[in-house]
């Protein structure tokens, strides 16, 4: 089915081909920067899974993979940014070169929490690679070393990103129709 024929989808932002080409570029940057090291990719479930596996296949240094899951919610005052770990990593990261892999960095609250949590475990290095970056909505500044695409202030789905848990398996990234957001 063509993505624009999928209910709720307004238009394609990045095609499968554009995504594949850009991931190869970012993987080449990572391979160069981590030459001589073993990198541990830490994926944030579930959104980053599609990106992480595509990226990993093009990274040319030895790598390990681990995952964690978080849940984020607003507190009673309605302020965002309350995050907790719902599933922790399987193994420790002390002394390792950790690359945190995110689907999207939006306000930055999630990223700040994850970086604080992981940094407290004494990795040798800690950096961030995000598939999408919506910098216009950033509230908390957090360091993003690698990004595939900057995106406009619209809700997007596909390539791992969901709307009510649907659309993750789209090969492209698409903008949702406003009434669906």
Q: Which is nearer to ligand IMP, 123 or 158 (CB)?
A: 158
Interacting span for Mg ion (CB under 5 A) from 61-69, 80-88, 92-100, 102-110: 102-110
Q: How far is the CB of 44 from Mg ion (least distance, A)?
A: 5
Give the interface with ligand IMP as residue ranges (CB under 6 A).
47, 103-111, 155-157, 161-162
Cβ nearer to ligand IMP, comparing 34 with 130: 130
* Cα–Cα nearest to 66, from 89, 85, 39: 89
Determine which residue in the list 43, 47, 108, 160 makes contact with Mg ion, applying CB under 5 A: 47
Q: Are 131 and 112 a contacting pair, CB within 8 Å?
A: no
Cα–Cα distance measured from residue 167 to residue 159, given in angstroms and rounded to the nearest whole number: 8
The span from the CA of 68 to the CA of 49, in Å, is 11
Residue with Cβ nearer ligand IMP (70 or 89): 70
**Entry field: residues in the chain:** 181
Q: Which does 63 bind (CB under 5 to 8 A by kind): Mg ion, ligand IMP, none?
A: none
Nearest to 71 by CA among 63, 82, 60: 82
Report how far apart, in Å, the C-alpha atoms of 98 and of each of 18, 64, 68, 82, 123 are. Answer: 26, 9, 13, 23, 7
Instruction: Return all residues near 9 (Cβ < 8 A) that are at least 6 apart.
Output: 3, 157, 167, 174, 175, 176, 177
Catalytic residue among 97, 103, 106, 133: 106
> CA-to-CA distance for 40 and 147, rounded, in angstroms?
17
Sole window of 2-10, 40-48, 111-119, 155-163 interacting with Mg ion (rule: CB under 5 A) = 40-48
Task: Choose from ligand IMP, Mg ion, none: what does 126 bind? Cβ within 5-8 Å by kind.
Answer: none
Under rule CB under 5 A, how many of the chain's residues touch Mg ion?
2
User: Which one of the spans 15-23, 95-103, 153-161, 167-175 is the region binding Mg ion (CB under 5 A)?
Assistant: 95-103
Q: Which is nearer to Mg ion, 47 or 123 (CB)?
A: 47
The question of whether 106 is a catalytic residue gets the answer yes
| Residues belonging to the active site | 106
The footprint of Mg ion (CB under 5 A) covers 47, 103
């Amino acid at each position: 089915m063509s993505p624009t024929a999928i209910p709720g989808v307004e238009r394609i932002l990045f095609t499968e081909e554009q995504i594949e080409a850009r991931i190869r570029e970012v993987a080449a940057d990572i391979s160069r920067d981590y030459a001589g090291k073993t990198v541990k990719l830490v994926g944030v479930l579930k959104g980053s899974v599609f990106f992480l596996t595509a990226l990993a296949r093009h990274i040319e240094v030895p790598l390990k993979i681990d995952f964690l899951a978080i849940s984020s919610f607003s507190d009673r005052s309605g302020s965002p940014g309350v995050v907790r770990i719902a599933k922790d990593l399987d193994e420790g990261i002390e002394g390792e070169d950790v690359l945190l892999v995110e689907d999207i960095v939006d306000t930055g609250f999630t990223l700040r929490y994850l970086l604080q949590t992981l940094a407290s475990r004494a990795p040798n290095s800690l950096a961030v690679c995000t598939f999408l970056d919506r910098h216009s909505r950033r509230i908390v500044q957090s360091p993003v070393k690698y990004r595939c695409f900057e995106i406009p202030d619209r809700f997007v789905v596909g390539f791992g990103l969901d709307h009510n848990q649907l659309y993750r398996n789209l090969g492209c990234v698409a903008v949702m129709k406003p009434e669906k957001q």
